[in-house]
Amino acid sequence: MYENEKGYLIVDVHVHPKRRGVLIVDEILNVMDEDNVKLSILLARDTDPNDLNRPDVKDTMVEKLRRSDFLVHMGMDDFFHVFELFMLMRERLSRTVSNVELANIVKQHPGRFLGLGSINLCKSEEYVRDKLREIDELSLAGAKFWPQLQFFNPAESENYRIVCEHFQKKGKIIMMHTGTCPGPWEIPELSEDANPKLLEPVLRDYDVQVIIAHFGYYSATCPGIWFKEALELGRKYANVWFDISAVAYILREEKIVEAIRNNVGFDKVLFGSDYIEYVKPSIDIIINNPHLKENEKERILGLNAVELFKLKM
Ligand SMILES: [Zn+2]
C-alpha cells in the first residue's frame, strides 16, 4: 500500500476531471502522486443548456429571480439582466462530462480512479432509465447530481425516486451537490433545490447511500447556507454521508468540528477536494488539525471511503 509519510491512506471522493471544459487528467494524476492520494473518484456531469428553453424551466428560473434581491441590486433594466444571466447559465451548462467519457478515463488508468456518472433528472423517465442502464454497463459506482443545474427538486422528482430505487437494488452511491453553485447559481434562490432538507422525503423511503457534497455549507455569497439542515439529516439517517470538498477550511473551527462529531460522527465524513488546487491544503487542514482525534483523521482521509465504496486496498 502506497502511503504518505504519516501513514494515512488517502481517498479523494470528489474530483472534477475538467477545468472550464478542458480535461485535466494528467494534472490530477500528478497531484495524486505528489500528495499521496491513493484513489480519486471522478465525477461526470450531465447538464444541458437547452433545458433553459423549456417554458417550465424558464418560468421557474424567472420566478426565483424575481424573489431574489438580484434585480433590485442591479437597479437597471430587468430584461437585459435576465437575458445576460441566462447567457451565463447556458455557458456553464454546456460544461459537461459524459458517462462514456468518464468511464474511458477510469479504464485508461487502472487502480487510480473510480467514476460516478451523472443523470440529468429534468429529462423524461425513458431518458433516466437509459442512463441508469448506461451507468450499469460502464461499471460506474453511482452518480452525482446537481439539483439546481439539472432543474429538479429532490423532494418532488419522480425521476429521483427511480434512481434511488435502482441504486438501492444495485448497491450504488448517490452524490448530491448541496449549497449554491458557482456562476449565476450563487444567487441563493436559484440554488434552493440544493438544500439538503429536500432529500428527507426520499431518504425515508429508500435505503440508498447518499453523499451530501460540501456539507450543505458551500456558498460564495452565504457560506454555511444549509449546514444546519445537513447536520439534521446526518443525525437522523445512517445512510447519509458527507464530503468536505471545497469546504475543508470549516474544520479549522472547533465549534464546527464538535457540531459534526455530535450530530453526524466522523465515521460518516469523506475527504474530497473538488479541484486539484484544494487537495494539498485540504489534506493539511485535516492532518494538522488540533480538534480532530487521530482515528477521526484516518477515517476522514480514507477509511470511510474504503467502507462506503467497498474498496479493496
Ligand atoms: Zn464539485
Alpha carbon of 179 to ligand 1 centroid (Å): 11
- Looking at per-residue pLDDT, the higher value among 20 and 30 belongs to 30
| Strand partners of residue 213 | 177, 243
Domain assignment of residue 168, yes or no? yes
Q: Is the pLDDT score of 3 beyond 70?
A: no
Alpha carbon of 77 to ligand 1 centroid (Å): 33
Grade residue 233 by pLDDT with cuts at 50, 70 and 90.
very high
Alpha carbon of 55 to ligand 1 centroid (Å): 28
Alpha carbon of 274 to ligand 1 centroid (Å): 5
Rounded to an integer, the average pLDDT of 252-275 is 97
Separation CA 144–CA 211 (nearest Å): 9
Mean pLDDT, the chain, rounded, equals 94
Domain assignment of residue 124, yes or no? yes
Over the range 15-30, which residues count as b (16 or more CB within 10 Å of their CB) and which as e? bbbbeeeeebbeebbe
Cell triple for 202: 426520499
Domain assignment of residue 70, yes or no? no
Domain assignment of residue 160, yes or no? yes
Cβ-Cβ contacts under 8 Å for 290 (sequence gap 6 or more): none
- The CATH number for 171's domain is 3.20.20.140
Alpha carbon of 205 to ligand 1 centroid (Å): 26
Task: Answer for the pair 11, 305: CB distance below 8 angstroms, yes or no.
Answer: yes
The parent domain of residue 266 ranges over 11-47+95-308
Alpha carbon of 288 to ligand 1 centroid (Å): 24
pLDDT score for 82: 80
Alpha carbon of 64 to ligand 1 centroid (Å): 23
Q: Is the pLDDT score of 88 beyond 70?
A: yes
Which residue type is seen at 296? E
Domain assignment of residue 134, yes or no? yes
Rounded to an integer, the average pLDDT of 252-263 is 98
Alpha carbon of 178 to ligand 1 centroid (Å): 10
Q: Is the pLDDT score of 280 beyond 90?
A: yes
pTM: 0.95
Number of domains in the chain: 1
Separation CA 52–CA 217 (nearest Å): 27
Domain assignment of residue 100, yes or no? yes
Rounded to an integer, the average pLDDT of 6-26 is 94
Cβ-Cβ contacts under 8 Å for 125 (sequence gap 6 or more): 158, 159, 162
Alpha carbon of 16 to ligand 1 centroid (Å): 6
Alpha carbon of 14 to ligand 1 centroid (Å): 6
Q: Which of 80-89, 108-117, 286-295 has the lowest mean pLDDT?
A: 80-89
Dihedral angle of Cα 186, 230, 147, 268, to the nearest 10 degrees: 120
Grade residue 1 by pLDDT with cuts at 50, 70 and 90.
very low
Alpha carbon of 78 to ligand 1 centroid (Å): 31
Cell triple for 107: 479504464
CA 43 to chain CA mean position, Å: 8
Alpha carbon of 43 to ligand 1 centroid (Å): 8
Domain assignment of residue 193, yes or no? yes
Task: Collect contacts of 52-58 with beta carbons under 8 A, ≥24 apart.
Answer: 52/86, 52/89, 52/90, 52/93, 54/122, 57/122, 57/151
Alpha carbon of 272 to ligand 1 centroid (Å): 9
Alpha carbon of 79 to ligand 1 centroid (Å): 31
Cell triple for 151: 432543474
Alpha carbon of 183 to ligand 1 centroid (Å): 13
Alpha carbon of 243 to ligand 1 centroid (Å): 10
Alpha carbon of 15 to ligand 1 centroid (Å): 7
Alpha carbon of 136 to ligand 1 centroid (Å): 22
SS (H, E, C) the chain: CCCCCCCCCCEEEEECCEECCEECHHHHHHHHHHCCCCEEEEECECCCHHHHHCHHHHHHHHHHHHHCCHHHHHCCCHHHHHHHHHHHHHHHHCCCECHHHHHHHHHHCCCCEEEEEECCCCCCHHHHHHHHHHHHHCCCCEEEECCCCCCCCCCCCHHHHHHHHHHHHHCCEEEEECCCCCHHHHCHHHHHHHCHHHHHHHHHHCCCEEEEEHHHCCCCCCCCCCHHHHHHHHHHCCCEEEECCCCHHHHHCHHHHHHHHHHCCHHHEECCCECHHHHHHHHHHHHCCCCCCHHHHHHHHHHHHHHHCCCCC
Cell triple for 37: 492520494
pLDDT in tens, 148-200: 999 999 999 999 999 999 999 999 999 999 999 999 999 999 999 999 999 99
pLDDT score for 69: 77
Alpha carbon of 171 to ligand 1 centroid (Å): 22
Separation CA 249–CA 286 (nearest Å): 9
Domain assignment of residue 208, yes or no? yes
Alpha carbon of 270 to ligand 1 centroid (Å): 13
pLDDT score for 201: 95
pLDDT in tens, 214-232: 999 999 989 999 999 999 9
